[in-house]
């Protein structure tokens, strides 16, 4: 199990499990006794699970959802533990590594120290071969080394360059990336390295992937898609360099505000084919279920400390 909480369990199906229907029972033991769920049927087979959700191995890591990289587990001081997410990101904590029982977490991280880490990539000529991952609690130090596992995207690794790919950690004080001694599993597309502390880690190498986008604050592009939207959601996209905040307001032709949000996801190295190359790209998904057919104006405001705000507008059609 890679994620266990009161609302959800995420399970990565082992490659050795044959196609078929399997009864699944969840049992949880805590102080004072144990509880067990009723049985349910879980189907393993072609087109089932990750592939049916559009999460097959062929899908680039950057396109997979955040939960694909998440993991969380309470780890004791006396037992070895292994957390693994559906993306195969993971951490192996040996017995005795922790002085107190600790909830260890991991998640994809596209935001922390964004400008500094992007500048460090550019300065050193390093390219990303996979997603950046934060392991927590941040700053945790271990009595014994733990093993980190980070997936890499083989599509980002040119022929003959795999040996240059390594797990690096980012030091926010020195603002540098440092390589760790790394081993490679070419079957699972996973890198492994040992460390004695938690920080921000990423698969990097020279001649790997796409070099980091320019973090310089300044307008590059803004648009909405699909346009027009026929019954589905609309994505508002802006590429402004590295920003502190992004917000959007959407109005009818008569000026009535129908939507407002600052919930934008960031992809710091997206080349979406618009001819501008890799860019810091902020996306907001607008659920249009509450509005009727028509043409709507969106107004995007982008802010960064010490810089003039960026204000951009556009129009998008909704057809129902």
pLDDT score for 37: 57
pLDDT score for 57: 39
pLDDT score for 79: 86
| Residues 173 and 244 occupy one common structural domain | no
The domain boundary residue, chosen from 172, 206, 240: 206
212 inside domain = no
Give the list of residues 6+ apart from residue 270 with CB closer than 8 angstroms, or none. Answer: 62, 213, 278, 279, 281
pLDDT score for 212: 58
| Residues 148 and 94 occupy one common structural domain | yes
| Residues 158 and 119 occupy one common structural domain | yes
For the chain, the C-alpha Rg in angstroms (whole number) is: 22
| Residues 129 and 267 occupy one common structural domain | no
| Cα distance between residue 7 and residue 180, in whole Å | 36
pLDDT score for 35: 53
37 inside domain = no
Tens of each residue's pLDDT in the chain, 320 residues: 444 444 445 555 554 556 666 666 665 554 445 555 565 666 554 433 333 333 333 456 777 788 889 988 888 888 888 999 989 999 999 999 999 999 999 999 877 776 778 778 878 888 889 999 999 998 899 999 999 999 998 888 887 889 999 999 999 899 999 999 999 999 999 999 999 999 899 999 988 875 557 788 999 999 999 999 987 899 999 999 999 999 999 999 999 999 999 999 988 878 776 778 788 999 999 999 999 999 999 999 999 999 999 999 999 999 98
| Cα distance between residue 251 and residue 256, in whole Å | 5
Q: Are strands 229-230 and 310-319 parallel, antiparallel or unpaired?
A: parallel
pLDDT score for 19: 62
pLDDT score for 236: 96
Name the residue range of residue 245's domain. 221-319
| Residues 249 and 198 occupy one common structural domain | no
| Residues 193 and 302 occupy one common structural domain | no
Residue 226, preceding bond cis, omega within 30 degrees? Answer: yes
| Cα distance between residue 302 and residue 251, in whole Å | 18
pLDDT score for 263: 94
Residue in this structure with the two tokens 């393993």, named with its chain if needed: 44
Q: Which pair of structure tokens corresponds to residue 253?
A: 């032709």
| Residues 201 and 226 occupy one common structural domain | no
Q: What DSSP designation does 164 have?
A: G
pLDDT score for 159: 79
């Amino acid at each position: 199990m890679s994620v266990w909480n009161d609302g959800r369990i995420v399970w990565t199906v082992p490659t050795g499990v044959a196609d078929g229907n399997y009864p699944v029972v969840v049992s949880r033991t805590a102080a004072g006794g144990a509880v067990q769920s009723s049985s349910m049927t879980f189907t393993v087979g072609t087109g089932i699970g990750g592939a049916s959700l559009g999460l097959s191995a062929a899908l680039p890591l950057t396109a997979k959802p955040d939960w694909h990289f998440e993991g969380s587990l309470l780890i004791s001081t006396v037992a070895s533990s292994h957390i693994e997410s559906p993306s195969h990101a993971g951490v192996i904590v040996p017995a005795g590594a922790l002085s107190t029982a600790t909830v260890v977490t991991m998640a994809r991280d596209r935001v922390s120290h964004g400008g500094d880490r992007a500048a460090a990539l550019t300065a050193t000529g390093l390219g990303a071969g996979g997603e950046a991952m934060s392991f927590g609690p941040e700053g945790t130090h271990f009595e014994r080394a733990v093993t980190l596992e980070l997936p890499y995207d083989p599509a980002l690794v040119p022929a003959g360059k795999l040996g240059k790919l390594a797990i690096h950690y980012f030091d926010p004080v020195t603002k540098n990336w440092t390589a760790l001694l790394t081993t490679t599993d070419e079957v699972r597309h996973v890198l492994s390295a040992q460390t004695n502390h938690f920080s921000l880690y990423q698969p990097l190498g020279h001649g790997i992937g796409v070099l980091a986008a320019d973090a310089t604050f300044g307008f590059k592009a803004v648009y909405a898609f699909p346009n027009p939207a026929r019954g589905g959601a609309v994505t508002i996209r802006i590429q402004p360099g590295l920003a502190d905040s992004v917000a959007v307001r959407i109005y009818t032709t008569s000026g009535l505000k129908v939507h407002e949000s600052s919930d934008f996801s960031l992809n710091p190295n997206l080349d979406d084919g618009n001819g501008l190359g890799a860019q810091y790209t902020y996306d907001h998904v607008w659920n249009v279920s509450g509005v009727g057919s028509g043409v709507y104006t969106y107004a995007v405001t982008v802010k960064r400390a010490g810089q003039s705000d960026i204000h951009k507008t556009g129009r998008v059609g909704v057809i129902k």
